[in-house]
Amino acid sequence: MKTKKVAIVGASGYSGEELVKLLLHHPHAELVAVTSRQNAGQTLAQVFPKFASHPKSQSLRFVDPNAELLAKQADVVFLALPHGVAAEFALPLIAAGCVVIDLSADFRLKSAAVYKDFYAHDHPAPQLLPKAVYGLPEVYREEIKKSLLIASPGCYPTSILLPTIPLLKAGLVKATGIIADSLSGVSGAGRKAETDYLFCECNESVRPYGVPKHRHLSEIEEQLSFAAGVPVVIQFTPHLIPVNRGILTTLYLAPQTHFSTTAEMAAFGGKLAAAYAAAYAHEPFVRLLEGKALPDTKNVVGTNVCEIAWRLDARTGRLIVMSAEDNLVKGASGQAVQSLNLLSGWPETAGLI
Amino acid sequence: MKTKKVAIVGASGYSGEELVKLLLHHPHAELVAVTSRQNAGQTLAQVFPKFASHPKSQSLRFVDPNAELLAKQADVVFLALPHGVAAEFALPLIAAGCVVIDLSADFRLKSAAVYKDFYAHDHPAPQLLPKAVYGLPEVYREEIKKSLLIASPGCYPTSILLPTIPLLKAGLVKATGIIADSLSGVSGAGRKAETDYLFCECNESVRPYGVPKHRHLSEIEEQLSFAAGVPVVIQFTPHLIPVNRGILTTLYLAPQTHFSTTAEMAAFGGKLAAAYAAAYAHEPFVRLLEGKALPDTKNVVGTNVCEIAWRLDARTGRLIVMSAEDNLVKGASGQAVQSLNLLSGWPETAGLI
Amino acid sequence: MKTKKVAIVGASGYSGEELVKLLLHHPHAELVAVTSRQNAGQTLAQVFPKFASHPKSQSLRFVDPNAELLAKQADVVFLALPHGVAAEFALPLIAAGCVVIDLSADFRLKSAAVYKDFYAHDHPAPQLLPKAVYGLPEVYREEIKKSLLIASPGCYPTSILLPTIPLLKAGLVKATGIIADSLSGVSGAGRKAETDYLFCECNESVRPYGVPKHRHLSEIEEQLSFAAGVPVVIQFTPHLIPVNRGILTTLYLAPQTHFSTTAEMAAFGGKLAAAYAAAYAHEPFVRLLEGKALPDTKNVVGTNVCEIAWRLDARTGRLIVMSAEDNLVKGASGQAVQSLNLLSGWPETAGLI
Amino acid sequence: MKTKKVAIVGASGYSGEELVKLLLHHPHAELVAVTSRQNAGQTLAQVFPKFASHPKSQSLRFVDPNAELLAKQADVVFLALPHGVAAEFALPLIAAGCVVIDLSADFRLKSAAVYKDFYAHDHPAPQLLPKAVYGLPEVYREEIKKSLLIASPGCYPTSILLPTIPLLKAGLVKATGIIADSLSGVSGAGRKAETDYLFCECNESVRPYGVPKHRHLSEIEEQLSFAAGVPVVIQFTPHLIPVNRGILTTLYLAPQTHFSTTAEMAAFGGKLAAAYAAAYAHEPFVRLLEGKALPDTKNVVGTNVCEIAWRLDARTGRLIVMSAEDNLVKGASGQAVQSLNLLSGWPETAGLI
């Protein structure tokens, strides 16, 4: 299979580090450059001792980010940068013919106005928005294969969209009143030297934050609206919990069908099961739990899998759907590599199982 | 102030241990007996090295539980036992004139039928149900003062009832569609040698459980129904998170008032603030957060305080209320001691601040 | 009992916060001022929500540190500042007649030369060194009572000195070849926004640091030398472990007596037990463990107690002594309050049990 | 390359689970059987949801252990059983011509008498002891290639032997006075439903245990004696720390050479570096750290690597060596697979990088 040369801009954060790990071990991708202003000049082995056993870790050195140079070295460039900054790098790379897989929020929205509303600054490259594909392979597989600019989804969005989109598309749940209650590990906050994320401030602590208008709402609602065919506004509450990795999302959804008997509930349950099976039975990275099993982040951390389970509540008439994923893998870098595999014509699971 | 002699039945679990700690340091209560079948014969210091510096820890020995004997020794007996077993102990103690403060679920419901529905066995002492007072001091302070049988609330119920009852009583939120999403530390599962609660199974793990019909729903809904004046059915999802102590509950509530302008939202917010202030401004153990502050379990662990904050969401028209408490203190043993203080005529905060 | 007015300079770090907690609840001390440049103007309740239930937390505001002003307000001033800075504050406070209890390393050494060797700068106030008393009450109780400048010991030193000094003084172990292997919770690093102490960098990680010449060695060796009557040089290896609080130290010591039979070992064990009993049987804050018990940080966290246990090894002829303490209480703020009690003529345990 | 059929007896513990993971993904081994009395009848996916994405997890079912049957199915059988039980299974498997890789302690010692001294029962199959090879590939690579019975080393021994053996063999350190202070994650205690290993008993706790005579001392001392050419007795103190995985060992060693000048110390340091380089520069699973780097368990967890760093202390004349490994990989299952690779003629790193 034809290999591709890949580079990572912003490789010293948690998502960048996970990308390094995945790409070092990828059977078809060759990691040719990693950038980081603060670590420029150092080898991969010096910055990330855990990769020191990989032969390339001794020779590959961090460099200052330079779009022109990267465009010459790499076929595909991953951007693991803050929003705003990512778009500035994407422009010259796209212009130079590179494929860009962006892990920031910069190209996830179709509307520059919504971007400004949620991110509080003008979009740095609105002309690229129409070219970008939302990099959720389970929904946009064919588009990803043909795209030159992938907007890889955020961690919260992935944990919410995967469980919800098939139900909205199948018309099984209402597009109104959706609630997503999410719990995230601390790596979701990035490798930032801020007091709030010190060990002693997070350990033995649980707390909500960003209530009620978190930035990720914008892409979640846009994607849910596409699935529902009507504008969707949801309630979303993120919480910080003391684990390194993992997102657990609990969704509260209103079935389109009212069930007042056990038989009716079972019938509706059959439709739900069928909708999920149709969507995900053959997906390598979505695991529909059976029987009494409920999602648990420890069963997905380190993998590109999103676990999903659901329960109907006869008492309230509501549907509860729960999902678990690794925020740095299916919620970030693994999903980005999944897109790389798709657009490169490689097996979708290459380097991810 | 007149002291009372107190005993703890089932003092080797986490709630029991916390009761020991609180009562050893209580200025007016004298701890005269602690029971535990497995630790009978050992001193407090041997079973709980952390209390070894207290003079009484060398002399007070665990004994096998014996209701007759306890009735002679103690004025007030705390039951930190599994449901079902607690009621069996309460009967002879009440008969002998002891005041009983029960930390189990046995006397929290008014209806023996609902008890059977949720706990899957007949109530062991239905004749005592009418005598029991639900031991939530912020709601039943006067009743607690006069009661001989206190059904001290569970940890999840406390974290849900304190934020919700004032709003239902004031008619500010709808009694329908209430959702409570709760996160609990592992001590909530008790000191049970079960694989599910081993360090390696809980650490770096987050998971829902007991979906959708948790036993605590019965007492939560009964109390909310009393507050609302109509039957209330809620959605409740507990999750296990890797902290020793602490419960964080996020509630999704529907305001009775629709707000479509900023002014309307502010006006409704004013009513909410007023209702909470009326209910809790002078409560020593409820802390209404101000400004940008949100609840964080690390700010309440080790205290008898329940923190509450709320946000109105202009986008969804919904009210989000968040609470944090220590599941072993305000969610169990601290609250039980608060009742002890009330019924003994001591300052309500004695031994708790 | 006569109360004293106390102030804390540098009250926003972890030791400062623990001092605030202890002094807010102290029966005889009145906390009149807390300083912090970054939090100046805010109330205690705003900076530390966990203290918000205390009445004084609403009225007491952080101020910029000003030695002149503090000297007028307070009888005793605690310095919870970095070394170097502390001495600068101590000078005017002492001059103005305040008692100073310094939690930094600035006055712990008798020799300004050794200070410079270990702290890499000249001592800022060498003229005060002779006046300072090393604030380890179990060793310098009488001196503390009469002192105006207390150099409160560090967390590692306390965990090493308490188990070792009685044995050196009794001539039971050799003054050579002492090894101290210590494990510290992350709060020992202070509330510093550094990447190394982020949750994700500490959780699921264990690592040595500062090998082989940690700064605390200077005060440890000076104190051990006083006890032994000869210069003592020890091996000390600190490790960082993922807990908020707690230090566990394992000491490897060489008995003065060689034992080759069980009887000889038992005889020597008897002498050890006697030496420890003589030193600590009546100490309120040293707990000599008995039987099979070994120190566990969870049994001392939140208390001012240091646990000690020892074992003789018939196979190696060596003595192993283990200690556990809360680095922020007996290892810092609790010990400082113990000194406050002593020099104020209050019961030594006031506010600490 | 020729594949081999492999089976795991006792696959439901932590080491067994790690073996399952490694062997499911191994390029040359085919996992044909997993046994577990308690899980017999269930699929791998049911018992370990995290493996559910692997195709074989749906078809491979746990069975009751049956040596005869296993001998027919598998070329190589891994025993992840308690000591004592393992030997009973090994006998019929060896007799039937299977290669046995035993992760228990049963065949690690050459002397049945020492076994009895440390394990308190007669060795169940002393006749096999001479046939067994201690499965530490860095020391016994050639013997492992030819062996039918591999006694795979324990986690503590690996972390102590790898750093120490080259120095003893080179005569650089004394064989007397060796101290090993080790910190282990909780998975080292196995998946046992015991109160001591509950989340709330381990989290926020650090404690020594098994002082002073831990069972693993027997194999450590036997192997060190072989390396030194004289009987070696060491001091070993294990501690339990709140991480899932990882062992950090700090060793205190006495150089054969006394150094009193910087130049002498540098010269001796050169010899140490040379000895380690000679032993490990080309080892794929030993990483000699350079510069200021010190071992950190988070850099080896999930890998088969043992990190080693050392420091000479001019003040004490002592050598401190520190190592870090994943107790379940290089300390157990990874090392066992490394032996599988060797004896199968596969690349030593197959399935391990």
Model confidence pLDDT, tens digit, residues D122-169: 999 999 999 999 999 999 999 999 999 999 999 999 999 999 999 999
Q: Please, what is the angle between helix D334-344 and helix D14-24, to 10°?
A: 40
What is the Cα–Cα distance from C171 to C179, expressed in whole angstroms? 17
pLDDT in tens, D67-117: 999 999 999 999 999 999 999 999 999 999 999 999 999 999 999 999 999
Bridge pairing between strands D62-63 and D99-102: unpaired
Beta-carbon count within 10 A of D243 CB: 28
Give the residue on C whose Cα is nearest the Cα of D218.
C315
Q: What share of chain C is helix, strand, coil (3-state, %, to 5)?
A: 40, 20, 40
**Residue C204: which of B204, B287, B307 has the nearest Cβ?**
B204
Which among A53, A287, A298 has CB closest to D53? A287
Catalytic residue among A155, A200, A202, A306: A155
CA of B17 to nearest chain C CA: how many angstroms apart?
Answer: 13
Rounded Cα distance between C54 and B353, Å, is 8
Peptide bond into A65 cis (omega under 30): no
Say whether B298 and C50 touch across the interface (CB within 8 A): yes
CA distances from D314 to C223, C352, D311 (A): 21, 41, 9
Measured between beta carbons, which residues in chain D are less than 8 angstroms from residue C163?
A: none
Angle, alpha carbons C69-C71-C74 (nearest 5°): 105
Place of tokens 């008492």: A315
Q: Cα separations (Å) of B190 from B13, B194, D195?
A: 6, 10, 11
Query: Contact D36/D62 with Cβ under 8 angstroms?
Result: yes
**pTM, whole model, 2 decimals?**
0.97
Is C242 in the D-facing interface, judged by CB distances under 8 Å? Answer: yes
Q: Can you tell me which residue has the tokens 């003065």?
A: C256
Chains that touch C (3 or more CB pairs under 8 A): A, B, D
CB contacts of B307 in chain C (<8 Å) are: 49
User: A39 vs A73, A116, D291, D300, CA distance in Å?
Assistant: 20, 32, 16, 22
Verify whether the Cβ–Cβ distance C187 to A194 is below 8 Å. Answer: no
pLDDT over 90 at D297, yes or no = yes
Nearest to C6 by CA among C27, C34, C25: C34
Facing residue for B53 by CB, picked from C49, C204, C353: C353
Residue C256 CA to residue C246 CA, distance in Å, equals 31
Q: Which chain B residues touch C25 with a CB distance below 8 Å?
A: 353
| Catalytic residue flag (residue B155) | yes
Q: Check CB contact under 8 Å for B49 and C303.
A: no
Per-residue pLDDT of C222-262, as tens digits, reads 999 999 999 999 999 999 999 999 999 999 999 999 998 99
Q: Which residue of D has its CA nearest to A283?
A: D53
Contact call for C49 and B284, based on CB within 8 A: no
- Average pLDDT of the residues in A122-145: 96
8 Å CB contact of C213 and D183: no
Helices (H) and strands (E) in chain C, counts: 12, 14
Residue D82 in contact with residue D104, Cβ under 8 Å?
A: yes
CA distance B220 to chain C (A): 27
Residues of D in contact with A287 (CB under 8 A): 49, 52-53
- Chain segment B57-105, per-residue pLDDT in tens: 999 999 999 999 999 999 999 999 999 999 999 999 999 999 999 999 9
Tokens 């569970």: give the residue: B154
Strands C207-208 and C235-240: antiparallel
Q: Specify the pLDDT at position B33.
A: 98
Report the candidate in B178, B208, B229, B228 with the shortest Cα–Cα distance to residue A318: B178
Asked if A290 has any chain C CB less than 8 Å from its own CB, the reply is: no
Which pLDDT does position A336 carry in this prediction?
98
D39 vs chain B: nearest CA distance in angstroms? 14
Average pLDDT over residues A231-253: 98
Q: Is residue D293 within 8 angstroms of chain A, CB to CB? A: yes
Find the distance separating the first CA and the last CA of chain D, reported in whole Å: 18
Two tokens, residue C238: 């600190």
The whole-number pLDDT of residue A212 equals 87
Q: How confident is the model at residue B26 (pLDDT cuts 50, 70, 90)?
A: very high
Q: At C212, is the pLDDT very low, low, confident or very high (cuts 50, 70, 90)?
A: confident
Which of D205, D212, D324 is opposite residue C311, by nearest beta carbon? D212
Question: Using a CB-CB distance cutoff of 8 angstroms, which residues of chain A are in contact with residue B179?
Answer: 179, 252
β-pairing verdict for A99-102 and A133-134: unpaired
Could you say which of D53, D284, D298 has the minimum Cβ distance to residue A305?
D53
pLDDT the model gives residue C1: 81
- Shortest distance between the Cα of D307 and any Cα of chain A, in A, equals 10
For residue C287, name the pLDDT band (cuts at 50, 70, 90): very high
pLDDT at C2: 92
Nearest residue on chain A to B233, judged by CA atoms?
A: A316
Q: What is the pLDDT of residues D179-205, one digit of tens each?
A: 999 999 999 999 999 999 999 999 999
Cα distance between residue D104 and residue D119, in whole Å: 12
Residue of A47, A200, A328 best to disrupt the C interface, most CBs of C under 10 A: A200
Q: What is the mean pLDDT of residues D323-330?
A: 98
Q: Which two tokens stand for residue A344?
A: 């490169």
For residue A284, which residues of chain D lie inside 8 Å, CB to CB?
53
Q: Chain D: residue nearest B201 by CA?
A: D199
* Shortest Cα distance, chain A CAs vs residue C204, angstroms: 8
Instruction: Tell me whether D131 touches chain A (CB under 8 Å).
Output: no
pLDDT value of residue D262: 92
Chain A residues closer than 8 Å to D25 by CB: 353
For residue B260, pLDDT over 90 is answered with no
Q: Does B59 touch chain D (CB under 8 A)?
A: no
In whole angstroms, what separates CA D351 from the centre of its chain? 17
Q: What local confidence, expressed as pLDDT, does residue D244 receive?
A: 98
Instruction: Give the integer Cα–Cα distance in Å for B12 and B23.
Output: 14
Contact C212 D311 (CB under 8 A): yes
Pick B299's closest partner by Cβ from C49, C289, C305. Answer: C49
Query: Among residues D207, C218, C314, which one has the least CA distance to residue B199?
Result: D207
Would you say residue A203 has pLDDT above 90?
A: yes
ipTM of the complex: 0.96
Q: B: neighbours with 3+ CB pairs under 8 Å?
A: A, C, D
Report, in this order, helix, strand and coil percent for chain A, each rounded to 5.
40, 20, 40
- Kindly identify which residue of chain A lies nearest to residue B238, measuring between CA atoms: A250
Cβ separation D211–C246 shorter than 8 A: no
Q: Is D30 on the interface with C (CB under 8 A)?
A: no
